[in-house]
Structure 1
Amino acid sequence: MDKFVIKLPKKSKDSQALQASGPNQEPSSSDCVNQFSKKSKIEFNELPADPGLRKKISDYDVNQRDELRRAYLKKGPCQPRKHNFPKRNIGGVMRHFNAKWFDIYGSWLEYSVSKDATFCLPCYLFKPDIGKQSGGDAFVTTGFSGWNKKERFDAHVGDCNSMHNQALKKCHDLMNQDQHIYFAFQKQSDELKKEYRIKLLASIDCIRFLLRQGLAFRGHDESLNSSNKGNFLELLNFLAKHNDVINEVVVGRMQKNLKLTSPDIQKDIVNAAACETRNSIIKDLGDDYFAVLVDESRDVSGKEQMAIVLRYIDKRGFIMERLLGIVHVTETTALSLKSALENLLLKHDLSLSRIRGQGYDGASNMRGEFNGLKSLIMKENQAAHYIHCFAHQLQLTLVVVAKNQVDIALFFTMVSNIVNVVGASCKCRDTIRETQAIKVAQAINSGEIQSGRGLNQETNLKRAGDTRWGSHYASLLNLLDFYSTVTDVLEDIEVEGIVSEKRVESRVLLDYLHFFEFAFSLYLMKAVLGITNDLSVLLQRKDQDILNAMRQVRVCKTRLQNMRDEGWESLLSKVSTFCSVHGICIPNMNDDFKARGRSRRKAQQIKIFNQVIDMQLQEMNSRFTEVNSNLLTCIACLSPDDSFSSFNRDRLMELATFYPSEFSNVELLTLDNQLQNYIVDMRSDEEFLELKGIDNLARQMVKTKRNQVYPLVYLLLKLALILPVATATVERAFSTMKYIKNRLRNRIGDEWLNDCMLTFIENDVFDDVSNEAIMQRFHESKERRGQL
């Protein structure tokens, strides 16, 4: 009976609902809509770039496949050309994939890093599940890795009617929208095409302005189904008022058809702009080496976002740090971070094997010795040297001093309370401005200070941030400048305050401000933070090289040591002058004095002075261990300062051994000869003798084409410049993320956030992207009603 009877599957809730409506009834239209709405949406930014990790094209919904195919075809085959392809024993010979095969079969050949195998992109997209071609499914599902049988590539291509060529033709037909059946029925005149181009360009101009300014497109509601047109339509109407063609074509026609102002079209245009911007960055990088700067942070909606920045040397010899993208990570383990990083690199045909430097902020999942992201990458690539963020190390040295020395910890606590009390209300801030303005006017009239353009600007107390202890320096400077004004405001709060707690707190703070200890701590920490502030500001620069950063660390240590040896009398003199001006009692340093209930001798202040500086020096010596490492000692020999006085050929040859993939035994012999010619050439050229810093040396070598004369020496120089210094660029990306995805725009999706941030941060690259390139990418990404 089983041959003649087909068993029905078990009844599900959906089938029971259909049977309840009647055995002979068709499913209602609402049921079909519900089933269609349950179709999972494809997140194109999360599609795996590695062909060995992709799902079958048949696993996707039939209505989504063309959109998926366009996304992969627009991206092109995955071809990490500079990847270090692993070798395997095949027939007694160690063989590996040859990158030159990409040049021969570049239109279809893909390489999977995870499987160490090759695939065919057209066959993956269009090969049917039934039937076999030459090679079967080797180039679609399992991958081909017979590196000793290159002829299999030609056999896979086959003749003109092979399955591969049929799939390749389907790819061309899919991307050529002009020959689609839809356009055959919707034949448009030249006039309509011209109008469509004008409307599209007007939309791109509006979107370009909003992206450059980081503004919302539709006000507070940025969801896909939002009907609010917000800033976009306002900007479009503004353009129409100043352009008759846009006014006639765009505004007049768009009132009838608002498709080009809809949210999905805006997202597509933004994505096209971001893709072109990113492609410009990848083109500028080329096949060169690079370093990665990685950090993670939560956005306003609580999602964990990982920012990835590339650091490389461009064709002119300049250091560049460019944002590659923002990736949403569901887990913050080192393995998940590495997977997200590797997938993003592969999307742009980059490889972990090209990394020559890593820079993180010191989190355990990043720099862990055994299971951190640093260790996982170095297991695959020993040349990816890790540098702990210099700015983060400097932050830690300042935190130790501020929290471990009791008197200084009390000082910062009281300063924070002063800023909170005085700046707690608008009335207090207005009082500060008015009082300070009166005192400035009196000082100008008496000749104590000068007036002029840019001088005596209106300001207020600055609130310091714990994540950047350098900001405490500005806060202390303001407090020193506003001292008398702050005391006046605290006296007013103590007398006229409505809340009793505030009056009591004001009295305590006012008493502390009149202590000699406060004045001493203020000037001491102003001096210490002033020395470290120069280093902190320098570390925020994108074009900072590690050799100069090391030099500035040494300068900072030297200044602290000089202050320790010779700065006591100068500091005491400044404190005494300040106390005399503001009526603070100066204790006799030869007598005992009472402070907060306990007796202290004159040596107490000297003890605090020495402790603070000694703790600062000790922390800097222990934190900045890179200064003494062998790698960076070798890099110092590249410095052109003082007529290349630091040049050491043996040290530079040792530096080359840190990068075995770039310098083979033969190349090491060549480098030895080049270094001898190089130093003679440099010391005989006056233009090079006046240079300062290895960054200027790289630019001058490119300018004079010495990089072509001494390519291996220039390669050493590039590898030294690639090493990261600080993660300031990544932190600026997170600041931008808070600006773009704020509380009113917290519904922004991950892909749109990534696109908006890339165009906003890399605005100089975005400015060079033409509207024509954005328009072409937008038009090719999907089927469009309009025709160009």
Structure 2
Amino acid sequence: AQKTKKGQSSLLSYFSTDPPSKKKRFEDKAPEGVLEHELELNVEDVSGSSSVQSTATTKHIAPIDEIQGPSCSSSSTGQLEIGLINKRDPAHGPSMAKVCLGEGSFQPRDFNFPKTGGRKFRPEWYEIFSWLEYSLLTDKAFCFVCRSFYNSEGKNNAEDVFTLIGFSKWKKAVKVFEKHEKSNSHQSNNIKLNCLKEANKNGTIIEKVNQKYSEEVQENRLYLEALCESLIFCGRQSIALRGHDESTDSKNRATFQNELLSIIGEQIQCQIAKEVKEAKVFAIIADETQDIAKHEQVAKVHESFVGFYRAKRTDGKTLANELKNVLISMDLNIKNLRAQYYDGASNMRGPYKGVAAIIMQEAPMAMYIHCNAHILNLCIVSCCTRVPSIRNTFFVLQSLYNFIEKSTKRHAIFENIKKSFQSYSGRTSTLKSLSDTRWACRVEAVRSLLDNFDTTLTTLREISDTDPDSGGQANALLKNLEDFNFVFDLLLLRRVLAQSDILSKTLQSSSVTYEIVKSVKNGTLEVLKSFRTDEFFSKLFNHSIEIADKCGFRAAQLPRQGKVPSKIGGGSKAPFESVEQYYKISIVWPVIDILSDQIEARLQENNLDILNNLSKVLGGTDEDTDSVKCFYKMEESRNKTIQERADVFVQKSLKSVFPMLFELFRLFFTIPMNSASCERSFSCLRRLKTYTRNKIGQERLSSLALLAIERSIGVNISKVIDDFNLSQKRRLNFV
């Protein structure tokens, strides 16, 4: 073997079974006159010698158990064992570097680095070259960056000395390190490492794409949520919305309002249908009206508004089919229908071709009931038309309203005169119009004229004296008002119609029951009978005389009696003995009798026998309920009505004990007493479908009406957005 310098181990010593002594291996020293810090700076240029002296000729690393580095002192033996265990040691190869990429380069510092040729690895180099790492097992330096991105196919790899073999020429270390750092392969691998760190920091590409997608979805849903909230707010306040035309030539078609409104309306309908299904049995209330576009609108309500549906025809078959289609669309079984509530039109109540008859062919237990509020209105109309004096009075009332209120000029005169009266309270009440369909309009018209009687007289006199065009009409109306007969009729109608108005408002209540209807009807009839007394007539007649004297009218007179034709016997009609007798017999008694008879007869013939029998069963007698009251400790003063007994039935959880009684309670309260809910929905229709909005679509109209009428039903905006996304393919992502 070649002799080696003093203080150095021979090459064979690395393969001997007996390693050199500890003293000989570590007595190497730097050459005299050279300082330690000069060793890492005073190095030779190695640009011409890129190869490293090594016996290895292939690009692989021997197994760990075959690698034997320089012998170490006993103080570093434990650290070498750590190197064997530590997977980050560069001696484990590039594949392990990729596994430990996230932990960074392996840079041991607290280690007694062995010397080779008087020089050793210096940990200070870590600060200059952050990519540098040291192997405890082989006493060699590696490049962590290049090892991590080592390519087994040999493409764009760095020098093997920094990836596979390791560098140990410490004399030339700094120059070689600098050259490697500037190499293309190292810089390329360094860029890859930085990109990988950035990706790990901010997430992978898939994660970034998913994150961006989620942010986009959240942002889109936020925008659509704001639009839905605006639609719901405007819809519940009956505020007009622009942009309903979504045709291809519309400049505002991208608003997609109709689709959102339709989804919102369907959601409200689904909630109503769910409640109906839970109740099992139900009743339908339907009515029709003509909107401003001359289309017949049919409303269907189950104490909850369901929608407006355009009826192309008004015959019974068409309306019945429309009702059945609505029940099918809401997934309601028509067999569970127990009552039908309509008005008295022939297309609704006809015995053969009416809506009720057609519906009962499929639902035999769905009995038809004529709306009690409509019946009362028919009673009042009959009373007001069958008595000539009352008929003429209402004609004058309507003519007076048309003359003053339909002219801005004459209405201004009316307002100015009213303000001049000392009794003016700051609120200008106007005259009211009459209508055959508005149930409370007659009593309101009578009251408004009596409240403004002096103002109306003065207004007519001024117009008669100053206006050449309408003065003649004003004078004719004035002569009618200055008649004792007209004043008497107004006072009579105010008293009689006030009682019918109480019954009318009771019948229009959404919570009215058969018991209440029966009680209020009987009370109204009792009051009307009390009016048919001499005492009531005397007070009424004297009050009329006081008003006539105050206004300067002529006193009451008997009308001229006509003669009987001679061909049927001749002579004259039997005259009345007095003026009082004339007004009593010809006006007061007929008005009271006709109204009382109409109310009793019409309400009695309304198909309410089943309700009357149900009320007897559920109401019971005191003897029948005494034992129950005692057992359940009920108070004597309570539980008199069917409603109170039903409440106790529910509170005591008696459904399973008396299932049939529970079914009777449910049936009794399911049957409605009026169709006023439909009339109220028609008021909403007039707010929605106005003169400027008469082209609104049917589906849009129904959805807006659901929002305006069913305000108490909440709308799940998140579900609306989900349904909107599923309805058709969207350019934007919402889910």
Contact 2:369 2:607 in 1 (8 A): no
Give CA deviations for 1:210-251 in whole Å, capped at 9, x if unaligned. Answer: 1112222217x756457466xxxxxxxxxxxxxxxxxxxxxx
1:346 to 321, 328, 331: 328
- Counterpart of 2:337 in structure 1 is 355
For residue 777 of structure 1, what is the aligned residue in structure 2?
Answer: 723
Change over 3 Å in CA distance of 1:393–1:647 after alignment to 2: farther
Q: Which position in structure 2 is the counterpart of 1:35?
A: none
- Rounded to whole Å, the distance in 2 between the matches of 1:195 and 1:716 is 53
Q: Is the 8 A contact 1:550 1:627 kept in 2?
A: no
**1:218 aligns to what?**
242
Task: State how far apart, in whole Å, the 2-side matches of 1:544 and 1:223 are.
Answer: 44
Q: How far apart in 2 are the matches of 1:646 and 1:567?
A: 38
Q: 329-338 or 386-395, which moves further after superposition?
A: 329-338
Tell me if structure 1 keeps the 8 A contact 2:400–2:477: yes
Alignment-derived partner of residue 388 in structure 2: 406
State the partner residue of 1:435.
417
Note the C-alpha offset of 1:411: 0.6
Q: How does 1:453-492 map to 2 (within 5 A)?
A: 457-492=427-462
Q: How far, CA to CA, are the matches of 1:710 and 1:619 in structure 2?
A: 40
Q: 1:504 to 1:696 in 2, by over 3 A?
A: farther
Q: Deviation of residue 735 (structure 1)? A: 2.2
Instruction: Tell me how far apart the structure 2 counterparts of residues 488 and 569 of structure 1 sit (CA, whole Å).
Output: 29
Task: Write out per-residue CA displacement over residues 409-429 of structure 1, whole angstroms, 9 at most, x where no aligned residue.
Answer: 111001111111122322322
Cα distance in 2 for residues equivalent to 1:484 and 1:506: 15
Contact 2:485–2:556 under 8 Å retained in 1:
no
Shift of residue 718, structure 1, vs aligned partner: 1.8
Q: Which amino acid aligns with 1:293?
A: I
Matched letter for residue 753 of structure 1: L
Kept in 1: contact 2:401–2:431 (CA 8 A): yes
Amino acid at match of 1:521: D
Q: Which sections of structure 2, spanning at least 5 residues, go unmatched?
A: 1-208, 564-572
Q: State the match for 1:91 in structure 2.
A: none
Tell me how far 1:612 sits from its aligned partner.
1.0
Q: Distance in 2 between matches of 1:490 and 1:457?
A: 21
C-alpha contact (below 8 Å) 1:541/1:728 kept by paired residues? yes
**Alignment-mate amino acid for residue 624 of structure 1:** L
**Counterparts of 2:415 and 2:621, CA distance in 1:** 54
AA matched with 1:307: A
Larger mean Cα displacement after TM superposition, 708-717 or 558-567: 708-717
Distance in 2, matches of 1:529 and 1:470, equals: 9
What is the aligned partner in structure 2 of residue 164 from structure 1? Answer: none
**Alignment partner of 2:584 out of 599, 606, 625:** 606
Aligned to 1:424: 406
**Distance in 2 (alpha carbons) for counterparts of 1:507 and 1:681:** 75
Picking from 218, 221, 232, the partner of 1:194 is 218
Structure-2 change in CA distance of 1:772 and 1:514 (3 Å): same
Partner residue in 1 for 2:74: none
Specify which of 260, 277, 294 is matched with residue 286 of structure 1.
Answer: 277
SS at match of 1:585: coil
The residue correspondences of 1:315-394 to structure 2 (distance < 5 A) are: 321-394=303-376
2:293 is matched with: 301
- Unaligned 5+ runs, structure 1: 1-184, 230-260, 311-320, 445-454, 649-674
Deviation at 1:322, TM superposition (A): 0.9
Q: In the superposition, relative to structure 1, how do residues 198 and 475 fare at CA in structure 2: closer, same or farther (>3 Å)?
A: same
- Classify 1:647/1:272 alpha carbon distance in 2 versus 1 (closer, same or farther; 3 Å): farther
Task: Indicate if the aligned counterparts of 2:439 and 2:504 stay in contact, CA closer than 8 A.
Answer: no
Which residue pairs with 1:630 in the alignment? 609
Deviation at 1:704, TM superposition (A): 4.5
Match of 1:155 in 2: none
One-letter amino acid of the counterpart of residue 271, structure 2: S
Q: Is 1:356–1:383's contact at 8 Å kept on the other side of the alignment?
A: yes
Task: Spell out, residue by residue over 1:353-399, the C-alpha distance to the aligned partner (whole angstroms, 9 max, x if none).
Answer: 11111100011121111221211222333321211111111111111
Partner of 1:787: 734
Distance across 2 between alignment mates of 1:342 and 1:424: 43
Give the letter aligned to residue 228 of structure 2: I
Structure 1 residue 716: Cα displacement: 1.0
Partners of 2:530 and 2:230 in 1: how far apart?
Answer: 57
Letter in 1 for 2:716: S
| TM-score, structure 2 normalization | 0.65
Residue 503 (structure 2) aligns with: 535
The 1:298–1:646 alpha-carbon spacing in structure 2 relative to 1, beyond 3 Å, is: farther
In structure 1, the residue matched to 2:465 is 495
On the 8 A contact 1:587/1:593 being kept in 2, the answer is no
- 1:133-169 per-position Cα deviation (integer Å, ceiling 9, x unaligned): xxxxxxxxxxxxxxxxxxxxxxxxxxxxxxxxxxxxx
- Write the distance in 1 (CA, Å) between the matches of 2:551 and 2:657: 66
1:651-662 equivalence runs, <5 A: none
Equivalents in 2 of 1:380, 1:507: separation in Å?
Answer: 61
Offset at 1:188? 5.6
Query: Would the alpha carbon gap of residues 492 and 750 (structure 1) be closer, same or farther in structure 2, given more than 3 Å must change?
Result: same
Deviation string for 1:485-540 (max 9, x for gaps)? 000000011001131xx211211211121111011100111111111001111222
Matched residue count: 511
Q: Who is 1:397 aligned against?
A: 379
2-structure distance, mates of 1:384, 1:200: 43
Amino acid at match of 2:297: Q
Q: 1:435 to 1:269 in 2, by over 3 A?
A: same
Choose from 545, 558, 565 the match for 2:513.
545
Whether 2:538 is the aligned partner of 1:569: answer yes
Q: Among residues 456, 470, 483, which one is paired with 1:515 in the alignment?
A: 483
TM-score (norm 1): 0.61
In 2, Cα distance between equivalents of 1:335 and 1:718: 30
Residue in 2 that maps onto 1:747: 695
SS class of match (2:309): strand
Matched letter for residue 254 of structure 2: S
Task: Report Cα offsets for 1:106-149 as digits up to 9, x if no partner.
Answer: xxxxxxxxxxxxxxxxxxxxxxxxxxxxxxxxxxxxxxxxxxxx
Partner of 2:711: 763
Q: Partner of 1:701 in structure 2?
A: 649
Match of 2:683 among 735, 753, 764: 735
**What pairs with 1:124-163 in structure 2 (closer than 5 Å)?**
none
Per mean C-alpha deviation after superposition, the further-off stretch among 550-559 and 707-716 is 707-716
Partner of 1:273: 264
SS, match of residue 568 in structure 1: helix
1:197-208 matches, cutoff 5 A = 197-208=221-232
Conservation of the 8 A alpha-carbon contact between 2:273 and 2:331:
no
Taking a change above 3 Å as real, the CA distance of residues 423 and 329 of structure 1, as seen in their structure-2 partners, is closer
1:83 aligned residue: none
SS at match of 1:210: helix
**Residue in structure 2 matched with residue 685 of structure 1 by the alignment:** 634
RMSD: 2.9
Contact kept? 2:721, 2:734, Cα under 8 Å? no
Using the alignment, how far apart are the partners of 1:281 and 1:420 within structure 2? Answer: 43
Contact persistence 1:698–1:718 (CA under 8 A):
no
Q: Deviations over 1:530-569 (max 9, x none)?
A: 1100111122211111221122112111111111135212
The residue that corresponds to 1:579 in the other structure is: 548
1:706 Cα shift? 4.2
Are the counterparts in 1 of residues 246 and 254 from structure 2 also a CA contact under 8 Å? no
Find the aligned partners of 2:248 and 2:503 in 1 and give their Cα distance.
Answer: 49
SS of the equivalent of 1:729 reads helix
Kindly indicate whether the alpha-carbon contact (under 8 Å) linking 1:548 and 1:693 is maintained by their aligned counterparts in 2: no
Cα–Cα, structure 1 residues 575 and 326, in superposed 2: closer, same or farther, change >3 Å?
same
